Amino acid sequence: MTTAHDLDVTPTPLALLLLGREADPKSERGVDCPGDLPAPSDPDLVARARAAKEKLGDKVFVLGHHYQRDEVIQFADVTGDSFKLAQQAAARPEAEYIVFCGVHFMAESADILTTDDQRVVLPDLAAGCSMADMATAEQVAECWDVLTEAGIADAVVPVSYMNSSADIKAFTGKHGGTICTSSNAKRALEWAFEQGEKVLFLPDQHLGRNTAVRDMGMSLDDCVLYNPHKPNGGLTAEQLRDAKMILWRGHCSVHGRFSLDSVNDVRERIPGVNVLVHPECKHEVVESADYVGSTEYIIKALDAAPAGSKWAIGTELNLVRRLAKQHPDKEVVFLDKTVCFCSTMNRIDLPHLVWALESLADGKLINQISVDRETEDFAKLALERMLALP
Ligand code: 13P
Ligand code: SF4
């Protein structure tokens, strides 16, 4: 086992990590958050954010993922799922600053897709993603060696979920693969199977499995699970050679909580309920749901639903609560009985947003997310392949 001692780093006390005041060298992102944040109790936060944004004018463009808090979403120029936000970041060359209200991998993608003169800012550097952290560059390079040893690397096309670090996106670009999001995973797999015979899908095993089996007509036996913590991924060369989909053993800690029991329970409590879930949920949950789709799909499904209809939604709680508020004529409930926010998405709160906007308005660039040139070039290749998917 690797210890902090082997890595020659002093472990960061958990309390400091949670406060976003220190760095975690093993994570995809550092989490040091410099500067003095306004107090959350400051009654003028909304007015301060408004004033700073007004002062910045067209120089700033604020992107907000659907899982962000309402207090932050109200300041977003555009809201969207990760696909729409990537498109929007690429389409705003006039904005000097892109303030990304989302998580680290999204801000990295925005930096990759924007021009060299634009600056991408993440209001709290502690807003990472546990799923993205489940695939490191070293682990993925090792996996490629295993595939090479098994004699199949030439037949494998990597498809990486947007929820991955820039390093993983660069690996994907370098090896002829594409990025996908939950709104275009099927198209990405169709494209990949035109390029090669097998797909290495990372880091979300659930999105990979659900798309392969539900949308592409593959069987569960066509899929194998590569565990980066086991020698050779815990698989034999024969298993790798027989597989069509090599799924990385990663998952979302929020969507992974929904279970078959949650579905059965809600159907019993609310007769006639429509169960609508995100494809990051486990396969058995997706199989038992009535509808499955990305956050953008979920929003559109609710918009189109008739008054009086009942919905149990399996995705992040900020979005579900917002949908319940926006559709008072429909019954909208959270699929699980326990509260399930994404803790890192929630790190971007009004004090961090005010601090970021006021700093920029004062001419101070803070919390810039910047991807190095080589990583950016290969990652861009993979992201542009995604944006060009039919
Ligand atoms: P989408 O935005 O692609 O629906 O993904 C959800 C998610 O988990 C983002 O972190
Ligand atoms: Fe990552 Fe899941 Fe949070 Fe999305 S919801 S940022 S995948 S942990």
- Written as tens digits, the pLDDT of the chain (390 aa) is 333 333 333 333 444 444 444 444 444 444 455 567 899 899 999 999 999 999 999 999 999 999 999 999 999 999 998 889 988 998 998 999 999 999 999 999 999 999 999 999 999 999 999 999 999 999 999 999 999 999 999 999 999 999 999 999 999 999 999 999 999 999 999 999 999 999 999 999 999 999 999 999 999 999 999 999 999 999 999 999 999 999 999 999 999 999 999 999 999 999 999 999 999 999 999 999 999 999 999 999 999 999 999 999 999 999 999 999 999 999 999 999 887 799 999 999 999 999 999 999 999 999 999 999 999 999 999 999 999 998
Domain limits for position 228? 132-252
Ligand 1 pocket residues where CB is under 6 Å: 81-83, 163, 181-182, 252, 280, 294-295
> Is 168 in the same domain as 185?
yes
Same-domain status, 137 and 149: yes
Residues 113, 139 share a domain: no
Alpha carbon nearest to ligand 1 atom 2, residue: 81
CATH number, domain with residue 287: 3.40.50.10800
CA–CA dist 168, 208 (Å, integer): 16
Type of residue at 332: V
326 HSE (CA, 13 A, CB side): 14
In a domain? residue 26: no
The pLDDT value given to residue 17: 44
314 vs 345: CA distance, rounded Å: 16
| 236 plus 191 within the same structural domain | yes
Residue 95 beta carbon below 6 angstroms from any ligand 2 atom: no
Q: Hey, what amino acid is at 138? A: E
Shared domain for 224 and 291, answered yes or no, is no
Sign of CA dihedral 63, 65, 66, 71: negative
Q: Contact, 123 vs 345, CB < 8 A?
A: no
Atom number, ligand 1, closest to the C-alpha of residue 102: 10
**Ligand 2 binding pocket includes 129 (Cβ within 6 Å):** yes
Q: Same domain for 218 and 330?
A: no
- Please tell me whether residues 239 and 150 are part of one structural domain: yes
Query: Crossing angle of helices 104-113/82-90, nearest 10°?
Result: 30
For residue 315, being part of any structural domain is answered with: yes
What local confidence, expressed as pLDDT, does residue 68 receive?
A: 97
Q: What ligand is nearest to the CA atom of residue 257?
A: 2
Atom of ligand 1 nearest to the CA of 252: 8
**In this structure, are 147 and 124 located in the same domain?**
no
Overall number of domains in the chain: 3
Q: Is the CB of 340 under 6 A from ligand 2?
A: no
- Which run of H or of E encompasses 145? helix 137-149
Residue 384 resides in a domain: no
Paired with 61 in beta bridges are 98
| CA atoms of 209 and 283, how far apart (whole Å) | 7
